């Protein structure tokens, strides 16, 4: 390895396939944390070392160590859980975690607040219901997402099958997870190609995210991910193959214009039988071509910008032994969830609930976690986490539907009336996320209450408008694809972006910087007023923001920071 590789590359190479000194670190009782190199490695096992940032000032004053605890992200392809798996996660959340479960924008469950001495017990409990957290974080293929309702049509069934096949194929093979967390025996080491035939010793240059979409729903936000598949059905509804997308990614760094979010390109079309081969080829080209010196330039999106889509496609075709066909036509209509009941092909019903920011908990007047636990105890179908932090109680027979609906209504889990809230997402941010510059999950609900008052005055309460907030520019709630995006800049201060497409195909653009609560409300109120007065019939808010001159349209991403201007007539009140 040459000298200029990033530090993480050295850590991976020296880790002996992700072991590092994790086993020793777990036994170290003097601290609730682990050493820095192992903090990088533990991500590949689906965990982040965090600390409770609310408690930092007091603990610093008392000269105490930070209140360390781990976040565990479970690997759940397509977001489907059996009732037994739901119950097990609910139990570990209450027993070992902070009592709550967090449904994520990538269809997994995060458990927060697990202290070091409880990690093994937690992972054993998760393993007992055939779940794990391997590769839920780290420079590997993460949880594979998929439109969550496979029983609605044959296209959905094909989608989840593909998601699971890709996930299985790209899961790291290292036995380190079993050895460290589940007290597995160490298997005598083999050659590199045998241990990790796809990844090798140093895994990928950066994280890698795959999704499977079923038009007309773009709920997985296919353009936000490194690799995506778009189902192409024939007239009878059978999937004949997939359009393949590459090079989407949401992160950027404030003030560094050579970092930018990017929407994926549609690279071509492949038959179902070739889809996994194509996935492996995309991964290995990125493994070999991706930037291992600068982690801020290491995602597939930069590889494709640097090398060009044609060269990338040619190399993928060569490695996969598959010639991609020209892209087939497809249409997306929205990125949101369809709330309420839908009828499956198998005669059962699926009920899509609204879980605010994905946080499953019991709150005053709404025992949501308890209600879902009770449903899991009586329910034979399954639970599906949607890509919008919501939950589907799936495959409910007719005779149980009224009872389940009554329980979720009482728990306040049915979709709200507000068109803004129905289409909202916030990342976790404070107090657990070490990267948060501002609040997100704890702030967005109150902000939306204030915005709803303004929307009501303009007669816009029921209009579907997509709003997403994050506590920093990393983009965990895919905010770059929201019609209204708020990104934390510092405590209580946010940048406001407008102009993304409702179907998830175009990103937003900076509209106003450094706004506080009152500034956000005033700035948006002006745009709401204009939208109510001037919009065309059926025109979405993001499209209107561009047509009316509030912001310029963003292309695929390299132009994300360009043409940022505040036209004089539209300068928001500050
Ligand atoms: C450099 C970029 C990024 C870093 C360093 C990063 C780091 C983190 C961290 C530390 C958390 C844990 C927060 C907590 O639970 O306390 C988190 C949550 C999460 N991240 Fe990221 N993230 C990045 C970008 C992204 C992007 C682009 C996406 C998706 C497109 C994403 C998806 C998620 C999801 C789904 C969660 C779970 C919580 C939620 O739904 O909000 N992350 N990320
Ligand atoms: S967007 Fe930033 S603040 Fe929010 S969870 Fe991700 S890393 Fe943390």
Q: What is the mean pLDDT of residues 134-157?
A: 92
Q: Which of 43, 262, 433, 570 is catalytic?
A: 433
Residue 1's pLDDT band (cuts 50, 70, 90): very low
250 CA closest ligand 1 atom index: 27
Neighbours of 567 (CB within 10 A): 11
pTM of the model: 0.96
Please work out whether the CB of residue 476 comes within 6 Å of at least one atom of ligand 1: yes
Over residues 467-508, the pLDDT tens digits come to: 999 999 999 999 999 999 999 999 999 999 999 999 999 999
470 CA closest ligand 1 atom index: 41
* pLDDT(8) > 80: yes
Distance 104 CA to ligand 2 centre (A): 12
- pLDDT of amino acid 572: 54
- List Cβ neighbours of 247 (8 Å cut-off, separation of 6 or more): 226, 262, 264, 265, 300, 301, 303, 304, 305, 309, 312
Please work out whether the CB of residue 50 comes within 6 Å of at least one atom of ligand 2: no
Q: Which of 209, 301, 506, 509 is catalytic?
A: 209
Over residues 10-49, the pLDDT tens digits come to: 999 999 999 999 999 999 999 999 999 999 999 999 999 9
Kindly provide the b/e burial profile for residues 393-429, where b requires at least 16 CB atoms within 10 angstroms of the residue's own CB: bbbbeeebeeebbebbeebbbbeeebbbbbbbbbbbb
Ligand 1 pocket test: which of 107, 476, 478, 507 has the largest number of ligand atoms within 8 Å of its C-beta?
476
Q: Is 270 a catalytic residue?
A: no
Ligand 1 pocket test: which of 427, 431, 441, 442 has the largest number of ligand atoms within 8 Å of its C-beta?
427
Q: What is the mean pLDDT of residues 82-86?
A: 98
106 CA closest ligand 1 atom index: 35
* pLDDT(253) > 90: no
Mean pLDDT, the chain, whole residue set = 95
436 CA closest ligand 2 atom index: 3
Residue 366 and residue 359: Cα distance in Å, rounded? 13
Please work out whether the CB of residue 425 comes within 6 Å of at least one atom of ligand 2: no
Please work out whether the CB of residue 442 comes within 6 Å of at least one atom of ligand 2: no
Residue 187's pLDDT band (cuts 50, 70, 90): low
Residues written for the chain? 574
Phi-psi region of 107 (alpha: psi -120 to 50; beta: other; left: phi over 0): left
* pLDDT(347) > 90: no
Alpha carbon nearest to ligand 1 atom 6, residue:
474
Q: Is 73 a catalytic residue?
A: yes
103 CA closest ligand 1 atom index: 40
Residue 573's pLDDT band (cuts 50, 70, 90): very low
Of 28-37, 150-159, 464-473, 526-535, the poorest mean pLDDT is in 150-159
The 3-class secondary structure across 501-530, one letter per residue, is CCCCCCCCEEEEEEECHHHHHHHHHHHHHH
- pLDDT of amino acid 570: 52
Q: What are phi and psi of 495, to 5 degrees?
A: -95, 145
Q: Is 454 a catalytic residue?
A: no
Alpha carbon nearest to ligand 1 atom 32, residue:
476
Query: In this structure, is the dihedral angle defined by the CA atoms of residues 476, 481, 482 and 485, taken in order, positive or negative?
Result: positive
Q: Is 209 a catalytic residue?
A: yes
Ligand 2 pocket test: which of 254, 261, 470 has the largest number of ligand atoms within 8 Å of its C-beta?
470
Q: Name the CA radius of gyration of the chain, rounded.
A: 23
Over residues 413-438, the pLDDT tens digits come to: 999 999 999 999 999 999 999 999 99
Q: Looking at the CA of 469, name the nearest ligand.
A: 2
Residue 251 and residue 131: Cα distance in Å, rounded? 28
Q: Is 75 a catalytic residue?
A: no
């Amino acid at each position: 390895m040459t000298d200029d590789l990033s530090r993480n590359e050295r850590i991976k190479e020296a880790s002996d396939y992700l072991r590092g000194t994790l086993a020793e670190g777990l036994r170290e009782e003097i601290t609730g944390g682990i050493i820095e190199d192992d903090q990088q490695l533990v991500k590949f096992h689906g965990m982040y070392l965090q600390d409770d940032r609310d408690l930092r000032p007091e603990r610093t004053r008392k000269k105490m160590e930070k209140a360390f605890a781990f976040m565990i992200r479970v690997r759940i392809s397509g977001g489907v859980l059996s009732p037994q798996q739901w119950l097990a996660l609910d139990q570990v959340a209450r027993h070992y975690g902070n009592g709550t479960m967090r449904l994520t924008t990538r269809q997994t469950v995060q458990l927060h607040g697990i202290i070091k001495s409880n990690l093994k017990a937690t992972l054993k409990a998760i393993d007992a219901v055939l779940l794990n957290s391997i590769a839920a974080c780290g420079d590997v293929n993460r949880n594979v997402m998929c439109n969550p309702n496979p029983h609605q049509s044959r296209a959905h069934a094909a989608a989840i099958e593909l998601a699971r096949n890709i996930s299985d194929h790209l899961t790291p093979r290292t036995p380190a997870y079993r050895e460290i967390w589940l007290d597995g025996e160490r298997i005598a080491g083999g050659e590199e190609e045998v241990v990790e035939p796809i990844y090798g010793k140093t895994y990928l240059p950066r994280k890698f995210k795959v999704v499977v979409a079923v038009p007309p729903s773009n709920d997985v936000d296919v353009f936000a991910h490194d690799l995506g598949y778009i189902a192409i059905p024939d007239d009878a509804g059978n999937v004949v193959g997939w359009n393949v997308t590459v090079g989407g990614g949401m992160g950027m760094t404030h003030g560094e214009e050579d970092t930018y979010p990017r929407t994926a390109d549609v690279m071509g079309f492949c038959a179902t039988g070739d889809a996994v081969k194509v996935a492996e080829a995309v991964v290995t080209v990125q493994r070999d071509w991706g930037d291992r010196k600068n982690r801020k330039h290491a995602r597939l999106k930069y590889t494709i910008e640097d090398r060009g889509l044609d060269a990338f496609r040619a190399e993928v075709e060569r490695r996969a032994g598959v010639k991609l066909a020209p892209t087939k036509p497809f249409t997306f209509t929205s990125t949101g969830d369809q709330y309420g009941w839908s009828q499956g092909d198998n005669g059962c019903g699926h009920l899509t609930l609204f879980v605010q920011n994905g946080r499953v908990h019991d709150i005053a007047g709404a025992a949501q976690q308890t209600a879902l636990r009770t449903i899991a105890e009586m329910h034979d179908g399954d639970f599906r986490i949607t890509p919008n932090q919501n939950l589907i109680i799936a495959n409910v027979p007719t005779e149980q539907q009224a009872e389940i609906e009554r329980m979720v209504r009482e728990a306040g889990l049915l979709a709200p009336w507000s068109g803004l809230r129905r289409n909202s997402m916030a990342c976790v941010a404070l107090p657990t996320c070490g990267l948060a510059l501002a609040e997100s999950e704890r702030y967005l609900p109150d902000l939306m209450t204030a915005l709803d008052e303004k929307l009501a005055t303009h007669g816009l309460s029921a209009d579907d408008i997509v709003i997403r907030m994050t506590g920093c520019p990393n983009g965990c709630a895919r905010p770059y694809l929201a019609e209204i995006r708020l990104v934390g800049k510092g405590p209580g201060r946010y940048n406001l972006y407008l102009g993304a497409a409702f179907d998830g195909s175009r990103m937003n653009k900076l509209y106003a910087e450094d706004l506080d609560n009152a500034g956000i409300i005033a700035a948006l109120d002006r745009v709401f007023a204009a939208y109510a007065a001037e919009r065309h019939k059926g025109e979405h808010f993001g499209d209107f923001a561009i047509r009316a001159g509030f912001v310029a349209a963003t292309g695929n991403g390299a132009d994300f920071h360009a043409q940022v201007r505040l036209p004089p007539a539209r300068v928001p009140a500050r």
